Structure 1
Amino acid sequence: MHEHDPGDPMTNTDPAARLTSTFTTDDLRSFVDGDGPFATVMLPAPSGQFGGDHRFEVMWKHARRRLEQLDADWSSDRLDELEAVVAELHHSDAPAFVIIQRADGVVFVEHLNGELKGGDAVTEVADHPRLLEIIDDRQRTLPHIVVDTDRAGATVTGFDAGRPTGSEQVEGDTEHIHRVRGGGWSHRRYQQRAENTWERNAGDVADVVAEMARQLDPVLIAVTGEVRAKQFLHEALDHEFGDVLVDIEAGDLDGVSSEVVDQLADRRARFQVAILERFRDQGGITDPGEVEAALREGRVETLLVSGPTSTMDDGEVRARLDAIGAAITAALTTSAAVVVVPQTAEMSGGLAALARW
């Protein structure tokens, strides 16, 4: 177990390793092993709009026509195969989708947890797949646990990749659950029994949370519910998980969800800041050509790419996107970590790297 400063979840922890360990790239690495070119279609999902089914179908038809225009060699058979995959998607399943087809017809589909930057559909054919938005989205959906607790128990739910991994209901003793006001010695005895019951129940909850946390390695354990129940939970868990244990004050489900999203965004931003500080301290590689050479030589430990600020589908950024796509593919094939960070002055080409040697 690492010793952490409770105010900083990254103390004594490699921030790049911590961030990249929260999501997998094995499926992406396997996919990029195939030969290009790659056709990429990114479709927003208009589930909140009237006629979402029709709008989604129209967007795909436009994307198919665009693919036919971009690459006349992209056969009708392959496009039919791609269309069959898209037909299985439903616009209410995710805020957006990234669908990529290799030259051999193999199709990769990613259900994004957030909306596309800029909100517009994107279609392209390139030597490398468009993975930037997928990795950026995965790095936003960090593993976490939400605990809704009261004096009698709790509901403990784990999340990873933006989806629940499991939920456990903890039901404790309720025989002496209520404290009473006033009275003499007998009342004080009853109050003490109630207090002891709450503490035992909190211990049961803490055991479930700890077991789930050891499996999930969350960056956040968000606790909502009754004040005293939360206090007992802190007493039981702070020694091991105090760096990620946070009280959520919102009362309703929407408020809790919003606070959890904000907490996760804050943690991701702090990881990114720590990575950029390490990059500057170690004198990382900033020239895109040198980054490309280091990737070819297998010298890159962590590839830094600037995140999408829009759908980035105009001619001015085409060369940059191609370079980012090639760099991400090379990083995956050499087992380098890939981290999406905000654009900085050092990353004029959208790329930087920390070298292994």
Structure 2
Amino acid sequence: MRLDRITADLPTDVPLVTVVMDATRESETGNQAVLTRWKDLRRGLEGQGADEATLEALGERIRTISNAAGQHGRVLVGARGEVLLDCALATPPATDEALYEQGVNAFALARVADEHVRYLLASVDRSGMDVTFHESATASTADDGGTSYEGGHDELTKTNTGGRSHKRYESRAEDSWERNAEAVAHELDRIVTERRPEVVLLTGDVRARALVADAVGQTAKGLLAAIEGGSRSEGVKPETFRANVVAALDEFRLRRREGVLDRFRQIHGQDGAAVSGRDGVLDVLRRGQVAELVITEAVAGPPSSLAGKKLWAGDDPLQIGNHADVVEMGATAPHEVRADLALGRAALAQGAGITVVDEASVKLADGVGALLRWNDAATPNDHVFTQSADPHREGRSRVGRTQEVTEPRS
């Protein structure tokens, strides 16, 4: 998943506070539980050197109840006394985590990106359309207020007058429906071009939906997903309709994730531009080859299964590996960084996406893999060792070089 829409406004010249926490407020004591968790996280951030103004801004935002219901998590990023990002997660993290670091916690933002969907919700009837634009992972109100559009043809009802006039009225009504649908479709095409959603949820009158779906252009048609329960008029059951929207978005996210996995399985199975395993991924990240980093839920965390490992890093995010590696790459002040943070930042630095997947959906050595922009003779090839009886040799490069990932110092 591309993270550029999420990270575009985040500064790169100052340390950032990144908070990932359980924001569930289901019980009577739920609100106090959230505030207690934040108090503990804040204490840790103070110890890391985070500034008071940013902590105050984050605390004020956390005290504001998000619009996500039931069990859910929350990811917040702050700096310079401001909250820069506030997004909801459908599932609470296994553990809360707060970091004050020079650079983003890319794996935390990858979870946001996985749940982030830009979508249009279009409710149509035989006279027009109500449409709103949404960003589904935003913790606060996430629509643009919406607009209404009327087709302009008002002969909408078939009147049972009998005789020839009956057929005339019937024909006029159907003609109005079709003309209104064409006008609505034209407006929907315009909005799709302007707002560039990933999916368009179409609801409302069944006949109007069919007419609009037939009339929209190819771009919008490829984004349409019909859902039941919506209407421009009164009588909508909000809870039922909301459940239908959530189900449609979940289905879209699954298809989006599966598209990445299908490419990885196919290319990796053909020994093409894809690698699996920690050592191979480190090599291709350093060379700027990665188009998409693929990580398991365990690696994404929190807690990340790589959080207890350390890599050496230089000033450039691509300068990662063991101490000798980063010195050879020109690092003037090598320092140790958590392995999960280093991998994520290297991916973002080369414009790569990050996709979080279920462990059971694909076999990834060490829980990490990568789809590449290009490959050559020096690109790691973990298939070289698939016939080996030594499982530790899998995931190395063609030259057999193993990266040094150390346990944190006590």
- The alignment's TM-score, normalised by the length of structure 1, stands at 0.78
Corresponding residue number in structure 2 for 1:91 = 64
Whether contact under 8 Å (1:23, 1:139) holds in the other structure is no
- Maintained 8 Å contact 2:299/2:306: no
Q: CA deviation at 1:184?
A: 0.8
CA shift for structure 1 position 291: 0.8
Q: Could you give the per-residue CA deviations for residues 128-155 of structure 1, whole angstroms, max 9, x where no partner exists? A: 6433232222232222211111112110
Aligned to 1:4: none
Paired letter, 1:215 = E
Unaligned runs of 5+ in 1: 1-18
* Structure 2 residue 131 is matched with structure 1 residue 156: yes
Cα contact 2:307–2:340 (8 A) shared by 1: no
Contact 1:144–1:220 (CA under 8 A) maintained in structure 2: yes
Q: Under a length normalisation based on structure 2, what TM-score does the superposition of the two structures give?
A: 0.69
Q: Quick check: 2:227–2:248 contact (8 Å CA) kept in 1?
A: no
Find out whether 1:334 has 2:316 as its counterpart: no
Partner of 1:204: 183
Q: Percent identity?
A: 24
Distance 2:118 2:304 in 1: 34
Cα deviation digits, residues 92-149 of structure 1 (max 9, x gap): 13544334568xx777643223244346533456786433232222232222211111
Q: Look up the match of 2:284.
A: 294
1:355 CA displacement: 2.1
Q: Quote the Cα distance in structure 1 between the aligned partners of 2:202 and 2:298.
A: 32
Q: Counterpart of 1:216?
A: 195
**Is the CA contact (8 Å cut-off) linking 1:41 and 1:122 kept in structure 2?**
yes
Q: Which runs of 5+ in 2 are unaligned?
A: 231-236, 269-273, 311-336, 375-410
- 1:347 is the counterpart of 2:349: no
Alpha-carbon distance change, 311 to 332 in structure 1, aligned in 2, over 3 angstroms: closer
Q: Specify the code of the residue in structure 1 equivalent to 2:291.
A: E
Q: Distance in 2 between matches of 1:164 and 1:67?
A: 32
CA distance 1:94–1:184, change in 2 (3 Å): closer
Q: Report the 3-state secondary structure (helix = DSSP H, G, I; strand = E; otherwise coil) of the residue aligned with 1:313.
A: coil
Amino acid at match of 2:20: M
The aligned residue for residue 146 of structure 2 is 167
Deviation at 1:277, TM superposition (A): 2.2
Q: Write the distance in 2 (CA, Å) between the matches of 1:191 and 1:203.
A: 19
Distance 1:278 1:191 in 2: 51
Match for residue 223 of structure 2?
244
User: Where does 1:1-357 land on structure 2 (aligned, <5 Å)?
Assistant: 19-20=1-2, 23-28=5-10, 30-31=11-12, 34=14, 40-50=18-28, 54-67=32-45, 71=47, 74-75=48-49, 78-89=50-61, 90-93=63-66, 95=68, 96-100=73-77, 109-118=84-93, 120-124=95-99, 129-160=104-135, 162=137, 163-165=142-144, 167-173=146-152, 175-181=154-160, 183-237=162-216, 239-251=218-230, 252-283=237-268, 284-307=274-297, 312-313=302-303, 318-319=308-309, 322-343=338-359, 344-357=361-374
Given residue 356 of structure 1, which amino acid in structure 2 is its aligned partner?
A: R
Please state whether the residue corresponding to 2:276 is helix, strand or coil: coil
Aligned residues: 327
Structure 1 contact 157–167 (Cα < 8 Å) conserved? yes
Question: 1:324–1:351: 8 Å Cα contact kept in structure 2?
Answer: no
Q: Give the distance between the partners of 1:237 and 1:315, measured in 2 at CA.
A: 47
**Cα deviation digits, residues 43-87 of structure 1 (max 9, x gap):** 33344443665443322222223445xx5xx34xx3523431223
Q: 119-128 or 242-251, which moves further after superposition?
A: 119-128
Shift of 1:247: 1.9
Judging changes above 3 Å, is the alpha-carbon distance between structure 1 residues 306 and 128 closer, same or farther for their aligned structure 2 residues? Answer: farther
SS at match of 1:27: coil
Distance 1:285 1:119 in 2: 28
How well do the aligned residues superpose, as a CA RMSD in angstroms?
3.3
| 8 Å Cα contact 1:238/1:245 also seen in 2 | no
User: Aligned partner of 1:355: which letter?
Assistant: L
Residues 274-308 of structure 1: CA deviation (Å, up to 9, x unaligned): 22222233221112122112111212222112236
